Amino acid sequence: MPKAKILLVEDEIVTARVAEKMLKALGYEMCTIVSTAEDAVKEAEKRKPHLVLMDIMLKGKVDGIEAADEIRTRFNIPVVYLTSCSDEATLERAKISEPFGYMVKPLQERELHVSIEIALFRHKVDSARERLICKLQKALEEIRTLSDLLPICAWCKKIRNDEGYWQQIEAFFADHSKTRFTHGICPECARKNYPHLHKKS
């Protein structure tokens, strides 16, 4: 099984090196380490990592939460936050960006490993669910389109069913609805086929 590629976004050099050492020890592949939100977005687009470890408080005009939101929206890459801030205001802002995890520094190797694996698994499940929903929506649209089209023979008036077989109209509607037919003869057909019963007065 290929190693998961991790993009680390951290502006504290010591923390970045500790995290890098842990990730390599756990068997993950390091894409690169960047220290700004702008570089995080650029590297996510360029390297297509399986997961981003994102520090929330970054230097510059854009913080990690804004960068994470852009990465998730544009590239569908899961983000796990790394932060020293555990206050309610920061937590509430972080929740809005729908992260796949939230870790408070200093990092612990076991906790880091569990957070990454859960995030990767959840993203895999969510992606599979999204693909299934798209397939179901497409199938539903096709069904709606087909339901508006009913192939009928111009000569004998038989109807082609879903399996490609041609059925008498009575049999088709009996299979696809609760409709039942009673048979009679319309006045026009009666005059045409039984002229002796409809003599002109």
Residue-wise pLDDT for 61-97, tens only, equals 888 999 999 999 999 999 999 988 767 777 788 888 7
Residue 124: predicted pLDDT = 92
* CATH code of the domain in which 122 resides: 3.40.50.2300
Q: Please tell me whether residues 125 and 193 are part of one structural domain.
A: no
Those residues whose C-beta lies under 8 Å from the C-beta of residue 167, and which sit 6 or more positions away, are 158, 159, 160, 161, 175
Residue 95: predicted pLDDT = 82
**Does any domain span residue 144?**
no
**Does any domain span residue 43?**
yes
Residue 91: predicted pLDDT = 79
Residue 31: predicted pLDDT = 92
Q: Please tell me whether residues 37 and 126 are part of one structural domain.
A: yes
Which single residue is written with the structure tokens 């570089």?
39
Mean pLDDT computed over every residue of the chain? 85
- Tell me the mean pLDDT in the region 15-19: 94
Q: Does the pTM of the predicted model rise above 0.75?
A: no
Q: Please tell me whether residues 22 and 77 are part of one structural domain.
A: yes
Q: Please tell me whether residues 96 and 168 are part of one structural domain.
A: no
Is the per-residue pLDDT at 200 higher than 60? no
Q: Please tell me whether residues 114 and 187 are part of one structural domain.
A: no
116, 133, 150 - which closes a domain: 133
- The domain total for the chain is 2
Confidence of residue 201 (pLDDT cuts 50, 70, 90): very low
The two structure tokens encoding residue 198: 């409809």
The two structure tokens encoding residue 163: 């399996």
Q: Please tell me whether residues 126 and 163 are part of one structural domain.
A: no
- Tell me the mean pLDDT in the region 45-54: 96
Q: Please tell me whether residues 115 and 193 are part of one structural domain.
A: no
Rounded to whole angstroms, what are the CA distances from 126 to 131, 161, 194? 9, 36, 68
Q: Please tell me whether residues 96 and 174 are part of one structural domain.
A: no
**Does any domain span residue 143?**
no
Neighbours of 77 (CB within 10 A): 20
Q: Please tell me whether residues 170 and 107 are part of one structural domain.
A: no
**Does any domain span residue 142?**
no
List the single range of 110-119, 146-155, 162-171 with lowest mean pLDDT: 146-155
Domain extent, residue 94, equals: 5-133
Q: Please tell me whether residues 41 and 110 are part of one structural domain.
A: yes
**Does any domain span residue 108?**
yes
Confidence of residue 199 (pLDDT cuts 50, 70, 90): low
Q: Please tell me whether residues 53 and 123 are part of one structural domain.
A: yes
Is the per-residue pLDDT at 37 higher than 90? yes
**Does any domain span residue 103?**
yes
Q: Please tell me whether residues 163 and 129 are part of one structural domain.
A: no
Question: How buried is residue 35: exposed, middle or buried, by Cβ count under 10 Å (0-12/13-18/19+)?
Answer: middle
